[in-house]
Amino acid sequence: MEKFTRLTSTAIPLDIENIDTDQIIPSRFLKATDNKGFGDNLFRDWRFQKDGTVNTSFILNNPKYNGTILIAGNNFGCGSSREHAAWALAGYGFKVIVSSFFADIFKENSLNNGLLPVQVSEAFLKELMELVTSSPKTELEINLEAQTISVVNTALTEDFDINSYKKMCLINGYDDIDYLLSNKDKIEAFEAAQTL
């Protein structure tokens, strides 16, 4: 897994709540047997019209906005457990998703792919969304070590929570398989102790 420590970037504001993983990557694109290429179909039915032409009113198609941070409305990533959603966001180039609330499975899938979900307060999200929408050149800084998200050259900043184990994994580029396999003796002892 790619390491993550610190990131400074402009951001794309996607002011919609309850974005489910079917929107992030529709089911008809889940037929691949590897995890490459999903970025091409990220938000497919919002980015493109049914005839395949670009939907110019969708924010990802607005040339004013770019960057590796996506700012999205409350309850991001709900619905299907498809990890293809995290692959699609990472494949498109996002490194960080900022929202006031993430669905559980999506959050785990992101962390397992080095894509950092940054959960902020409703008020901070609103402020960020408005600021970035009106000033697309606004830069945000995410510091994982310090667990802060800040607007560069302003006093606007907020702390965010992350599980200390997951933080260690991201900073070092470790994944759970390494850790679990290092506990194999404990796992086998657990199995041997089962009586029912």
Partner 1 sequence: MKKTLFDKVWDAHVVNSIENGPQILYIDKHLIHEVTSPQAFQELEERNIPVLRPNQIIATADHNTPTQDQHLPVKDLLSRNQLQKLSENCEKNGITLYELGHKYNGIVHVIAPELGFTQPGITIVCGDSHTSTHGAFGSIAFGIGTSQVAQVFASQCLLLTKPKSLRVTVNGTLKKGVLPKDVILYIISKIGTNAGTGYFCEYAGTVFENMSMEGRMTVCNMSIEMGARGGMIAPDETTFEYIKGKEFAPKGTEFDKKVAYWKTLPSDEDATFDKEYFFDADQIEPMITYGTNPGMGIKISETIPTLDDASFEKSLNYMGFKAGESLLAKPINYVFIGSCTNSRIEDFRIAADFIKGKQKAENVTAWLVPGSKQVEAQIVDEGLQTIFEAAGFELRQPGCSACLAMNDDKIPQNEYCVSTSNRNFEGRQGQGARTILASPLIAAATAIEGKIPDITKYYLN
Give whichever of 141 and 176 is closer to partner 1, judged by the CB atom: 176
Q: Smallest distance from the beta carbon of 187 to partner 1, in angstroms? A: 6
Nearest-CA neighbor of 150 among 8, 4, 13, 3?
A: 8
Report the residue number, 10 or 80, with the smaller CB distance to partner 1. Answer: 80
Smallest separation (angstroms) from partner 1 to the CB of 191 = 8
- Which CB, 10 or 77, lies closer to partner 1? 77
Laid out side by side, the sheet with 69-72 consists of: 11-14, 69-72, 96-99, 116-119
Residue 115 is classified by DSSP as P
Nearer to partner 1, 131 or 151 (CB): 131
The minimum distance between CB 155 and partner 1, in angstroms, equals 29
Bridge partners for 48 per DSSP:
54
Residue 79 tokens, joined: 């619905």
Q: Least distance from C-beta 25 to partner 1, angstroms?
A: 11
Dihedral of CA atoms 41, 47, 48, 54 in degrees, nearest 10, equals -120
Select 92 or 101, whichever has its Cβ closest to partner 1. Answer: 101
Least distance from C-beta 20 to partner 1, angstroms?
A: 5
Q: Which residues of this chain interact with partner 1, rule CB under 8 A?
A: 15-18, 20, 22-23, 26-28, 30-35, 45, 50, 73-75, 78-84, 86, 101-105, 108-109, 112-113, 163-165, 175-177, 179-181, 183-184, 186-187, 190-191, 196
Q: Which helix (H) or strand (E) is 128 found in, with range?
A: helix 122-134
Q: How far is the CB of 6 from partner 1 (least distance, A)?
A: 22
CA distance 24 to 89: 8
Residue nearer to partner 1 on the CB measure, 15 or 141: 15
Q: Where are the beta strands (DSSP E) in the chain?
A: 6-9, 11-14, 69-72, 96-99, 116-119, 140-143, 148-151, 157-159
* Chain Cα centroid distance, residue 149: 14
